[in-house]
Amino acid sequence: MATLGNPQNTIAVLQKYKFNFQKKFGQNFLIDTHVLEKIISAAGVREEDFVLEIGPGIGTMTQYLCEHAREVAAVEIDKNLIPILQDTLSIYGNVQIIQQDILKMDINRLVQEKNQGKSIKVVANLPYYITTPIIMGLFESHVPIESITIMVQKEVADRMQVGPGTKDYGALSLAVQYYAKPEIVAHVPPNCFMPRPKVGSAVIRLTKHKQPPVQVVQERQMFALIRASFNQRRKTLVNGLNNAPDIFYSKEEIVQALEEMGLPPNVRGETLTLEQFARLSNLLGMTHTE
């Protein structure tokens, strides 16, 4: 089986198996060897690594991963791709093809069984329709992870990287930055994929923090505050929190906490840093919880 990372070989495989692209699965296969090499090098895959690939497609990037890593687990939802993967990856003894929905998979168990619970690397050209749940699922389920190197929609990569004062800043920026250090490593135009996506793409590496950069007593509460403040962007933080069904502090309590932080009562959530959300959560946590 020839290496896949170019249009001719990809077309040959697709024709051999009469494969039909499924839009609902966000299928845009990479057909550019430079981009593939860039992803592998940005991920820093080494021969001792266990790598989880989400959505291997026809196995284009998987081949590269198998060449560089100790072991690869490739999780693909589309049943029709499994026989193709078995063919394109047949020469590799270090890959496990798993037919599963990544959002329903117990990744912690996989890491226990395959890597003795030690940190793994995640590398993927993600299906764009579920980028956020995949990333948040990996972080919130506390899977032992060293880094996540992924192709995502360009706007989503921007959102993960920015700080307060920009239009892209939001709940995703804060969540990602709480768990990891984000770095955009490449911009990738639509012509590097088959079929071409309608949007630009970017490769972003999220290097997991060993310790969160801020001290927060109730992580869940901080994220509830963050979600509530960005759900109603045009409202002040106090009104946003007051209207949220899962936040039970009174306006007075919120205003008092803001005052202690040196912030005015009409401050907007989008101007607060991660440190300030952590402080607000800690201060409110001391007033009372319901």
Q: Does 78 bind ligand SAM (CB under 6 A)?
A: yes
Give 100-108 contacts, CB < 8 A, sequence gap 24+: 100/75, 100/76, 101/77, 102/54, 102/55, 102/75, 102/77, 102/134, 102/137, 103/130, 103/133, 103/134, 103/137, 105/75, 107/52, 107/138, 107/141, 107/143, 108/141, 108/142, 108/143, 108/144
Q: Does 281 bind ligand SAM (CB under 6 A)?
A: no
Residue 11, interface with ligand SAM (CB under 6 A)?
no
Of positions 49, 71, 76, 270, contacts ligand SAM by CB under 6 A: 76
Spatial CB neighbours of 135, under 8 Å, sequence gap ≥ 6: 148, 150, 176, 206
What track of x and - describes contact with ligand SAM for positions 79 through 118 (by CB under 6 A)?
Answer: --x-------------------xxx---------------
Applying CB under 6 A, which of residues 27, 132, 177, 281 lies at the interface with ligand SAM? Answer: 27
Residues of span 55-74 touching ligand SAM by CB under 6 A: 55-57, 60-61
Residue nearest to ligand SAM (CB): 55
Is 29 a binding residue for ligand SAM by CB under 6 A? The answer is yes
Nearer to ligand SAM, 84 or 176 (CB): 84
Using CA atoms, how far residue 134 sits from 3, 51, 105, 221, in Å, is 28, 16, 11, 21
Chain residues that interact with ligand SAM, rule: CB under 6 A:
25-30, 54-57, 60-61, 75-78, 81, 101-103, 125, 127, 130
